[in-house]
A = this chain, B = another copy of it.
Amino acid sequence: MKVGVLGGGQLARMLAIAGKPLGIQLICYESIENPCANSVANIIKGDFNDENALATFAETVDCITLETENIPLTCAEFVAKQRALLPNEFTLKITQDRLYEKECLQSLQIPTAKFHAINTWDDLETALNTFNYPAILKTRKSGYDGKGQAVIHDKQGAVNAWEQLKSHELILESFVNFASEVSLICVRAKNGEVKFYPLVENEHREGILRLSKAPFIHPILQKKAENYANTLVTHFNYIGVMAIEFFVMGNELIANEIAPRVHNSGHFTIEGARTSQFENHLRAICGLPLGSTETIGFSAMYNLIGEEPVREKILSIPNTYYHSYGKAARPGRKLGHITINALSEDALNDSVANYLKIIK
């Protein structure tokens, strides 16, 4: 079985590693030289608008998936004519645009922050009259890891944000004063079966995910999240792994973002669950039965951002696993991650304290 992946970054890399034992070979389509999946997958280099290269890619594979939603929709629509695109191009159209995504969530009665489409300065001025400060102005497309957004605290902030972002299609969102951020990773098989991992609690800094802890045990929120996720995957006729990020407000969840792919907050599943999100994504899109999403103990996943720590020290912490993505160091770049696992929350906290002492 040959699976094509639009993108060749670390998510493709981890998918490719998960595919090896299953006899599933990955072929990544990438516009950049030497993407980090290149030591585990075949790479076809091409621009995402190059229909000749895309056609060659599509012909090479049995089905196509993606590791980023930031690809031109035309590219997805083009390859989907040749091979099954899983998840489908409709899902991509909605989830790559914050406005469509919010409208979709709203139409499905899934709570979101208040939002407004912004095309002109007048739109922004008018919308701000009905929003409380702070509010967040975001590009509708291509934002990730906190890029393409500005927090507006006052009128002058609105002017600055507009100047910064006005060349894009925009959305204004109200600021949610959340207690915590969680995400739900789920996977839907071709036969319609859906499995859910337990909620993960996430900490961001400077817009980038730093830490995920799982399981976040809260039966009421788990149930709500699963219901919302089920509604979404049914609506999209979704196949594969999907992640939904939520803000927690007491016993309520406010949906923030949908990722139509394996997700950074699901990396803990490699060691911390009976089947990793990567294997389950491949099982789903290849028509294989899903694996168990039960967790093993308690996990904390730290992203390695900008630099990689000394592996010798990190690996001396019990049940700690190192994942290098084979990338050159660069400030703000995700270079790898570390998963710390333990059979009790206390033991996990001890190991985490140990880890934080080592890396500081």
Contacts and interface: CB of A to CB of B under 8 A. Distances in A.
Among A21, A296, A311, residue most surrounded by chain B Cβ atoms (within 10 Å): A21
A122 interface: no
A296 to B, nearest CB: 6
Contact of A288 (B40, B315, B336): B315
B288 A311 contact: yes
A324 interface: yes
A301 interface: no
Contacts of A322: 21-23
Interface in A308-334: 311-312, 315-316, 318-319, 321-324, 326
B21 A321 contact: yes
Main secondary structure of the interface of A (DSSP, over half): mixed
Given A40-B40, A274-B319, A319-B274, A22 B288 contact: no
A126 interface: no
A22 B22 CA distance: 21
Given A274-B319, A319-B292, A20 B22 contact: no
Contacts of A292: 318-319
Nearest to A327: B23
B21 A324 contact: yes
Contacts of A25: 39
Nearest to A279: B321
A134 interface: no
A217 to B, nearest CB: 19
B23 A324 contact: yes
A17 B21 contact: yes
Given A289-B312, A312-B288, A39 B20 contact: yes
A197 to B, nearest CB: 15
Contacts of A274: 319, 341
A324 B326 CA distance: 25
A291 interface: yes
B291 A326 contact: no
Nearest to A324: B23
Nearest to A308: B23
A287 interface: yes
A315 B311 CA distance: 34
A319 B274 CA distance: 7
Contacts of A312: 287-289
A281 interface: no
Contact of A40 (B20, B283, B318): B20
A40 B40 CA distance: 6
Contacts of A289: 312, 315-316
A108 to B, nearest CB: 31
A3 to B, nearest CB: 14
Nearest to A317: B289
9 contacts: A20-B40, A21-B323, A22-B322, A23-B311, A23-B326, A25-B39, A40-B40, A274-B319, A288-B312
Instruction: Please give me the 8 A-B residue pairs with the lowest Cβ-Cβ distance, nearest first.
Output: A23-B324, A289-B316, A21-B323, A289-B315, A288-B315, A17-B20, A292-B319, A274-B319
